[in-house]
Amino acid sequence: MPLEFKITHKCSYTAARAGKLKTAHATVSTPAFMPVGTQGTVKAITTDELAAMGTGIILSNCYHLFLRPGVELIARHGGLHKFMNWPGAILTDSGGFQVFSLGGLRKLNDQGVVFTSHIDGSTHFLTPERVMRLQNIIGSDIAMILDQCPPYPAEREEVEDAVRRTTLWAKRSKEAHINSDQAAFAIIQGGVYGDLRERSAKELVELNFDGYAIGGLSVGEPKHLMYEVLDSTVPELPQEKVHYLMGVGSPDALLEGVRYGIDIFDCVLPTRIARNGRVMTSEGYLPVRNSAFAYDLEPLDKACSCPVCKNYSRAYIRHLINAGEILGLRLTTYHNLYYLDRLMREIREALSEDRFEEYYRKVSPQLTKMYGGVV
């Protein structure tokens, strides 16, 4: 089997669970957050550093790798793991979200999607079958199907058509998937319409994929609507399969997602804000590049034990960022990823020790106050 998933602990009061996700390259403890390595690299961080902080799985993107450097070059290296020197697990996104966010640069029908490259203006045609073949060549541990991701807000008719097309493409993707060492996950759509989410989940579950992702969220909707979608969708998923919430990375939403039964997450948030001089701390967001920290000799977060907080001051990191030094962005990126990894470790420990509900009641109000709002 390309993937084994075993639930090791369940919360007695919520849908939260801890587990072990075994892929062809690594075994990952869940719940887990996946740093995003869109183009075969997590920005500003080496694979050795990711492994050292405890990262077990990362996300890369089929759409971007297809355009640059091309899957042929990746194949010459023996696959994406060797190309980027990463020993852990890799999940590749199909590129559906990126393609459909192109707006006027793409046209779609039931056969697939024609889009114009954002790099050089070249025209490409992607079908569900071709996307699976590309990911088969890339050799990721988990391949995502091509889906249609409607925007938020969107009229019901548009969302309903996206659900229909996503199911159609899922059937074709399942038939086209031929890499026996690679798992395939379906993506549930439906916008913020509960009945469409339930319909999408039921249709895709019938196809018996290795895991199920909830897509089309974290696209601007209020968080309470996202939680309502999880509440109506997750119960429709097979409990023995992996549950994946796409594009979510704020600390409060990660904890809530676990409470609803989500196992893995991904988001560009921690690395993107790090490059803008903003870090996550035990007291909320810290805009370390601001002038208020010019003479601050404290670490980014007194409660953090990462190498950045042990060795560098806020004033020094601010100086690096404002001087245009690459090291400043590397330090803020490392800290943010470490912060989320530590949060997920705490959640797993609470689950394994049968105290998740107590942990949730204590930590959730704090995280909501610090990080709440729009996803």
**Closest to 34 measured CA to CA, from 226, 242, 232:** 242
Planar angle of CA 214, 219, 223, nearest 5 degrees: 80
Distances (CA, A) of 87 to 19, 56, 339: 20, 9, 22
d(CA 267, CA 272): 9
Cα–Cα dist 79/139, whole Å: 5
Quickly tell me which residue has 């060492």 as its tokens: 181
| H or E, element range at 113 | strand 113-116
- The residues, ordered by sequence, that sit 6+ positions from 54 with a Cβ below 8 Å of its Cβ are 341, 345
**Tokens encoding 287:** 């805009």
Backbone φ and ψ of 107, nearest 5°: -135, 135
Q: Which residues are catalytic?
A: 93, 266
